[in-house]
Amino acid sequence: MRSIIEETLFEARNQGRSTFMPFLTAGFPNPSTCVEILVALAANGAGVIEVGLPFSDPVADGPTIQWANRQALDNGMTPAEVFRIVADARRQLSCPTVLMTYFNPLLRMGPKEFAVRAGDAGVAGVIVPDLPPEEADEWLAAAEDAGLDTIFLVAPNTPRQRLKRVMEKTSGFLYYVSTTGVTGSRFALSPEILAEVEHTRSVSTVPVAVGFGISTAEQARVVARAADGVIVGSALIKELQTVSSSAGQVAAASRFAVSLTKARETVGGVDTKRRTNEGP
């Protein structure tokens, strides 16, 4: 049985479009405006929203999201506050929400409690970028009990054999990192990487979303030709940095969402029944 995240991404692809998946650090630029921005993103085309749990050492993130993490922590963000923000936003959202957290906050709270509280807040899936699938059994059991997807990451240099092992563990979608750097890295999707994304998507039983470094509508359009989802984070936060008022930040997020949503390339649908063995 497909999860709500899988259903959302596959439905969009079967309609000939990729899904815009924005990322925002919880509590940035402040807790109340963060909720308003999440609602605005959904109202203007976001199909799945990724919310980042602020952490003091976000090793997979570039300077822009690191800065947003620091701002959010200065705003008093804790895991409990993040769950509250997500729960507040979820009451106004129709699209699924994914929580991105590093392993330390999850371990400190305990996998079972973290999973239960995430599920209670309305989270549909969790990304833990520094937790490899080989060491994730305790978390995977807790997540499954709480009805949460666990999204794992692969990169252009992931060997084919390991790709297969990761795909066996992931649910919701497979996060394809477009570069071997951090978020916000300079983006240039070569034909070779584009081909790898297309190959990965052709053999995956879950949708494939691409992130890291995508910042413009044209880049999103290129990615949308090969992927089920286009993840954009640093570029959105940079847009918000240019505006000081809450109303202006919400408006900026709305404009950004519209521009990225329009960039989703119309492409041929995918036979998702074939990929999930649910039909011929």
Provide the annotated active-site residues.
50, 61
Q: What CA–CA distance (Å, rounded) separates 167 from 206?
A: 8
Contact 83, 121 (CB under 8 A): yes
Q: What CA–CA distance (Å, rounded) separates 171 from 155?
A: 17
Residue with tokens 């202006």: 248
Q: What tokens were used for 215?
A: 């910042």
Angle (CA) 235 236 237, round 5°:
90
Reference 189, options 215, 167, 163, 164; nearest CA is 215
Q: What CA–CA distance (Å, rounded) separates 203 from 196?
A: 11
Q: Which residues pair with 49 in a beta bridge?
A: 97
Q: What CA–CA distance (Å, rounded) separates 124 from 166?
A: 19
**First CA to last CA distance, the chain:** 17
